[in-house]
Structure 1
Amino acid sequence: MELRLKRVYDDPDPGDGVRVLVDRLWPRGLTKERAALDLWAKEVAPSTGLRKAFHHGDMPWDEFAEAYRAELDGPAHAELEALRGELARHPVATLLYGAHDGLQNHAVVLRDALGG
C-alpha cells in the first residue's frame, strides 16, 4: 500500500486512491462534496489537549511528534490498527489534513506510524 499526504483543501484527484481525513475537527468552510472523503478517521487524530498545545505554540514540533506517537502506541492503538487494516485493502491511500504546514503536522507522524 502506498500512503500519500495531501491537504484536504487541495482538489481531489483520481490518483488519491482511498481518501481519509485524519483531523479530529471538520475543516472550516469545506463541504462534504468538495472533500470527497471515503473515510473520516478522527479517532487517530491527536487528542484535543495535544492539538491545542501544538497549534498555540506551547509545544515544539519534536515534543509534539513524540507525544503523538505515544498516543498512537497507547490510547489510540486499537483505532490505529483498525485504520491500518482498512487501508491495507487499497493500493493507494491519501491521508488528508487541514494544517498549512505540509512538513510539520500530525499526518506526517501518522503516516510513519502506519508504515508509510
Structure 2
Amino acid sequence: MSNVRTARVYDAPAAGTRVLVDRLWPRGVSKEDAPFDEWCKEVAPSHQLRTWYAHDPAKHAEFLKRYARELAEPTARQGFDHLHELARTGQLTLLTAAKDVDISHAAALADLLNR
C-alpha cells in the first residue's frame, strides 16, 4: 500500500483523507478552519522523545528505533491501526507542523503504513 504521503499542515489541501499526527495543535491554525479531517495525536511521539530528538538529523536513526517502540504501546497502536484502515480506503495524507517533513515522525509513520 503506497497511498500514504506526508505534508505540512500549512500546505494546500490535496485529495483524500488528511490527518494531523502531531501531539500539539499547530500554531496559526484555527480549530474552526482546520485544514484536515481528523487529529490522531495518539500516534505522535511522546513529549520526552520529541524534546530529545529536536529534529536533529544526527539522532534520526535512534529516533526511529525509539519511536517504533512507542508505537507498539496500546494507545499508539490503536491510533496506528486506525490510520492503517484509513489508508486501505484511499489516499491518506499525514500532516505535521514540522519544518522538515522528511525527518519527522509523520514520514516514519508513512513509511510504516506503506509497507
Contact 1:46 1:71 in 2 (8 A): yes
Deviation at 1:115, TM superposition (A): 2.4
Read off the aligned partner of 1:8 and give its amino acid letter. V
**TM-score (norm: length of structure 2):** 0.85
Cα distance in 1 for partners of 2:95, 2:34 equals 9
String of CA shifts for 1:83-114, please: whole Å, max 9, x gaps. 2123322x111100110012111001111221
> 1:39-78, aligned counterparts within 5 Å?
39-55=38-54, 60-75=59-74, 76-78=76-78
What's the Cα RMSD here? 2.0
Read off the aligned partner of 2:36 and give its amino acid letter. L
Read off the aligned partner of 2:73 and give its amino acid letter. G
String of CA shifts for 1:18-66, please: whole Å, max 9, x gaps. 0100000000111235432111000011111101111185x71111111
**TM-score (norm: length of structure 1):** 0.84
Number of matched pairs = 112
Indicate the residue corresponding to 1:87 in structure 2: 87
Instruction: Note the residue ranges of structure 2 that are not aligned, 5 or more in a row.
Output: none
